[in-house]
Structure 1
Amino acid sequence: MNAITPIDFHCHGIGRFDFADPNSLVLDELENHLKIEGTAAILTLYLPKAHLTNFIEFMYEFDAGKKSGRYKHIIGIALEGPLLASFGGTPEQGCWKPTLSEWEQLARLGSHGLVYVVLSPNAEFNQKDDYPKDIIEIAKILLNHRVKPALGHFGKEDAEATAISISHICDYAEQAGMTPLFTDHLYNDMPVKCQYHWRNGIEKSKRKSITPEILKQEWTDENIEDILGPVPATLIGYAKKGILKLCLNCDGDHVDIDLCKRTIEFVGAENLMLMTDRIQSEILAGQKLTRNTANTLLYQKAGIVAGGTQSVMRQLGNLMLIGVPSRDIFQMAFATAAGALFGQDTLSLDRVESGL
């Protein structure tokens, strides 16, 4: 990976592979695919409980290859789940409640390339003695091994309580000096007060009357909760304090592209990272996903969105077309993630262009 390779911070499928089956992944083929594409990525896998041992072995294999220099474009590995309050597009078998021992096994993989674990701070917890009692107990285990919690897949029943649960883990991470934490994609799989996507003909016919009403308002720290709701407002508030780095999917279908632009302007590109959520194989946990002509998304059965199809380069084009400044695009596509992952806090377009 060279100094200006865009980073896909969260993707679910490169090439022909099903990321719900670590046994099927050929890391050298994945590396070559990313090299040809000119992209670096964190491979975000799903973990069925029955595959825990296989996943651990997979991580050892990845670590060995990474240390030998074979995987320059695969930055690391992440997990979506298993502790989620809302399944969303996650395969059901990838959602379960690990014991304290199983969390410890996962956390120890931080030294072998596990970068983050998507989890829900408002998830239900098993109250038996050998299970964690709350999100802070899990955060301590992960952070002790330098694995970052990535907040997402929030339940939608009680937005106020969910916002409080986000505050608990963010405040703990700040006090422990373990920031920034990460998120799954902003707006998706969380309660949002306004309409933020338009995915079929009926929805798109309403866009002209609704989206301008959202965007004509000036967004301020004082009114953002009234516009977006407590959960996205809380995430944005912690991002603006430097405690969270937010992922944003700019394919135009997960989130309206003009809403993406307003979000970049308000939150700051230095607090945002690009993600695709893509599944190139169109297969998830053995299930053949479907598409429709109204958007570029992939669907599971019952019309549940499983992921996207657009590449990082396509998303960069989307941002250029709506007039996002090139410096902000560079920041989202590379510098924010590089700073969060590698501590390169002073990265700038000027430095890259001058070769420093």
Structure 2
Amino acid sequence: MSSIRANREVKPFEVDENGMRPVEVHCHGFGDVDFSDFTRVDLSRLDEWCATEGVLALPTMYLHRDRLAEFEAFMRRYAEMRKDGLLPHVPGVALEGPLLSHRGGTPTSTVWAPSRQEWERLAALGQHGLVYTVLSPDAYSPESVLQDDPNLRTSDFSWIVPTLLAQGVRPALGHFTRDNPQRSADNVDAIVEIAYQSEWSGTGVRVTTDHLFNDMPLNIRHAFRTERARRERDRVIESYELPNWTLDNISEIAGPVPGAIIKQAVNCRISACINFDGEHVDLALATRAVQLMGPRNAMIMTDRCDSARLGGRPLHHTGDNGLWYEENGVVAAGSQPLALHIANAKAHGLSDADIRHLTTRTAHRTFGIPVAAEAVATAA
């Protein structure tokens, strides 16, 4: 069954007792709409789709350097529509990149180092609804694919992060290299510290992440995506002795990077995103990570794309799972609706209260989504 059809069969979410709706924090496309083709995105249609599913959405886009002006025009249009009350289900927009140390499943041409002027232009979009941009803590490492970009050395995190935060744009940490895990973890801690020493014009949490356990150095196997891998899954997971994971040993067991993120989340300085589709990350690992961080510091992200196209690239499924793949076999996105993530979380022992935080309350708090405004919009 295609993901589009599956999504349409999902019962819409209802507003909870506090007037909040679930938030799809990191999603790439609903229906046949590729969010990264932002010049063609029909925002009214997107809002209607969200209303049909009963969710709020933070559409996440890729950005080519030569399309920055077009993106600025899109964000101004988005802000005007929000001001007119026309997009109650789309409380913000996000970017994946461009400052990534490796492209992962992102289009190669959307990985680039902005100049200072380009950073200032991106930061200014915080006033028009840009809520976060994914950047790699390893962008300046010797292994980064950006090493030859002439703009890389025109700025550093000590300037970039305050520049973004001063306009309300959060850094979302992800796309790590795998060459020096401890250095990567130290970079996470350094960026978080810079963020909390910076001027902050927004509300909520100042730092978020891309999906935990994906695109980062690990000491464990985090996913079992093929039939052959799944035959080994129970033995491998049992060997990890998940009940014995603690904040004291998580960095040693899982790796310094997930350890740093989880500890910063526990300290309420990061709202960490994690998948519960069972395909990006094994569900037992995702559940244990949430238990360590606390559901109040974590958000389910779907990484969802409903159609076989993302960022101008054709995608395909394999017979092993529901992930979207590029031609070269690299995972590009997920395809499962939020309802499936919730069902998986419940099946692995997370309570209804936990899930309300993971899908709704943490995101509202993190991104400063006004509850009263959402309740009014829903009533209307």
Question: Which one of 86, 92, 96 corresponds to residue 80 of structure 1?
Answer: 96
Which residue does 2:293 correspond to in 1?
267
d(CA) in 2 for partners of 1:189, 1:199: 15
Match among 335, 338, 343 for residue 312 of structure 1: 338
> 2:157 matched to which residue of 1?
135
1:31 paired to 2:53: no
Query: Residue 197 of structure 2 corresponds to which residue in structure 1?
Result: 175
Give the partner amino acid of 2:191: I
Match of 2:9 in 1: none
Deviation per residue, 1:128-166 (Å, 9 max, x gap) = 689543222110110111100000011111111111111
* Superimposed CA distance per residue, residues 45-85 of structure 1 (whole angstroms, 9 cap, x where no aligned partner): 00011211110000000000011111111111000000101
What is the aligned residue count? 346
For 2:80, what is the secondary structure of its paired residue? helix
Could you tell me which of 133, 157, 181 is aligned with 1:159?
181
Is 2:219–2:253's contact at 8 Å kept on the other side of the alignment?
A: yes
Deviates more, 1:254-263 or 1:100-109: 254-263
Indicate yes or no: 2:299 matched with 1:299. Answer: no
8 Å CA contact 2:315–2:325 kept in 1: the answer is yes
1:98-137 mapped onto 2 (5 Å cutoff)? 98-124=114-140, 132-137=154-159
Is 1:289 matched with 2:311?
A: no
2:115–2:151 CA contact under 8 A, matched in 1: no
Shift of 1:250: 0.6
Counterpart-to-counterpart distance in 2, 1:233 and 1:12: 27
Shift of 1:312: 0.9
Q: Is the 8 A contact 1:192 1:229 kept in 2?
A: yes
| 1:354 aligned partner | none
User: In structure 1, what is the equivalent of residue 70 of structure 2?
Assistant: 54
> Which of 332, 336, 351 matches 1:325?
351
Specify every segment of 5 or more residues in structure 1 that has no aligned partner in the other structure, as ranges: 346-356
One-letter identity of the residue aligned with 1:164 = D
Provide, for residues 196-246 of structure 1, a one-character-per-residue CA deviation record: whole Å limited to 9, x for no partner: 100001211110110112144511121111111000000111111111000
For the residues of structure 2 that align with 1:129 and 1:6, how far apart are their CA atoms?
39
User: How many Å separate the matches in 1 of 2:279 and 2:134?
Assistant: 21
* CA distance in 2: counterparts of 1:78 and 1:148, whole angstroms: 9
Q: Which amino acid aligns with 1:43?
A: P
CA drift of 1:271 comes to 0.6
TM-score w.r.t. structure 1 length? 0.93
TM-score (norm 2): 0.87
Deviates more, 1:315-324 or 1:232-241: 315-324
Q: Do the aligned partners of residues 223 and 41 (structure 1) sit closer, same or farther apart at CA in structure 2, a change above 3 Å counting? A: same
Structure 2, unaligned runs of 5 or more: 1-13, 141-146, 372-380
Q: Return closer, same or farther for 1:39/1:67 CA change in 2, 3 Å cut-off.
A: same
TM-aligned CA distance change 1:56 to 1:328, over 3 Å: same
Alignment partner for residue 205 of structure 1, among 231, 236, 252?
Answer: 231
